[in-house]
Amino acid sequence: MLETPKGIHTIRNLPDEKLGQLWESIKVDPALKSQLHAQAVLNFTVRRKIKRSVLPLHGIILLVGLPGTGKTSLARGLAHKVAKSFSATGMRLLEVDPHVLGSSAMGKTQKAVSELFSQTIGEAASMGPIIVLLDEVETLATDRSKLSLDANPVDIHRATDAVLTQLDDLAEKHPDILFVATSNFPEAVDAAFASRCDLILEVPLPNAEACKQILTDCLTRIGEVYPAIGAITASPGFGRCVSECVGLDGRAIRKTVANAMAATTETAANPNTMTVDMLLVAARSSKANRAKGSKH
C-alpha cells in the first residue's frame, strides 16, 4: 500500500493476486467478464494511437446492478486482469473515496472534486498508466435534472459540473487512464456522465448455475476448516438449497451459509454440526427477508 492523498481510499500496485482472486470469486456469465476485460484492454491499446475525433473514448466503464452482485469486486479484479495483459507497465489502481469530498461549506465540494481529478489523479497518470475505481459514482455525478435547487445546495450541482469538466480534460491529456465506475442506482447518475461512458454493463443477479457455483465455492472453502460443511455439496438436499438461493445476490448467498452456521448456539460453537436442512431454512429465510425489503 502507498500513501494516499485526500479523496483516495487506497492505491495498489498492479498486478495484485488478491484482486485476481476477487475476479474469480464473482460468478457471472463468462461473456460479460470477457467483454469487460476486452473493453479495458482496448482503452490502453488504442487511445494513444487514434484521435478522439475518430473514436471519442473517455476511458470510462460503468457497472450497474443491484447491491451485492459483485460490481466493486469485478472492478478491482479487472484492474489485476488488465495489468496482467500488459507486462511490466507499472500500472496502479486508485480507489476514490467520494464521501470525504462533501462539505457543507459553499464551494468546498466543487473545489475538492476539481483538485482530486485535476491534481491527484492527473499527477498519478503522469507517472504511468492507472485505473481509477469510482465506487457509488452517483455520489459524484448526481443526476442534476432530478435535483431541486431549493432542496439541494447549488454546490452539489457544481460538483457534478466539475466532475464532467475534469473527465473531459483528463480524456484529452491522459490516454493512459481508465475509470471504472459502479452504481447501485443508475437512475441517479447524471445523463451527461452516462453519455461519456465507453461501456455500460449491467451485472445481474446470479442465475441458477451461478448460484450453484457460489454456494459450492463457499461451502467447499469452509469445508477446508469444517469438513462436514464441505460435505453438504454432496448431500441429496443440496439441490433444493441451490433452488432457494435463486433470486439472491452473491453476497446474500454467502451470508446465508453464515446464517445456517448460526442456526443454534450449539452449531455456532461447533459448525461441523450444521446440516443441509439448516442451510435450506436459512436460504428460505434470506429470500423471504429480501422480498420484504423490496416491498419497503
Tell me which of 200 and 118 has the higher pLDDT.
200
User: Hey, where are the domains in the chain?
Assistant: 8-202, 208-287
* Other beta carbons less than 10 A from residue 106's beta carbon: 11
The number of residues in the chain equals 296
For residue 235, CA distances in Å to 151, 228, 282 come to 56, 11, 16
**230-261: buried (b, 16+ CB within 10 Å) or exposed (e) per residue?**
bebbebeebebbbebbbebbbebbbbbbebbb
CA distance 42 to 38: 6
pLDDT at 154: 59
At 120-163, the pLDDT tens digits run: 999 999 999 999 999 999 988 988 887 655 544 556 778 889 99
* Other beta carbons less than 10 A from residue 182's beta carbon: 24
At 168-192, the pLDDT tens digits run: 999 999 999 999 999 999 999 999 9
**Over the chain, what is the mean pLDDT?**
91
pTM for this entry: 0.89
C-alpha cell at 217: 465455492
β-pairing, 8-13 with 92-96?
Answer: antiparallel
Tell me which of 205 and 2 has the higher pLDDT.
205
Q: Which of 194, 192, 7 is nearest to 114 (CA)?
A: 7
At 21-47, the pLDDT tens digits run: 999 999 999 999 999 999 999 999 999
- CA angle (67 as vertex; 61, 69 as ends), nearest 5: 70
Identity at 155, one-letter amino acid code: D
CA distance 41 to 295: 40
- Indicate the SS3 state at residue 131: strand
pLDDT at 112: 85
| Yes or no: domain 8-202 corresponds to CATH 3.40.50.300 | yes
Q: In the structure, what pLDDT confidence band is assigned to residue 296 with cuts at 50, 70 and 90?
A: very low
pLDDT at 106: 42
At 85-133, the pLDDT tens digits run: 997 568 999 999 887 776 544 457 788 888 999 999 999 999 999 999 9
pLDDT at 87: 77
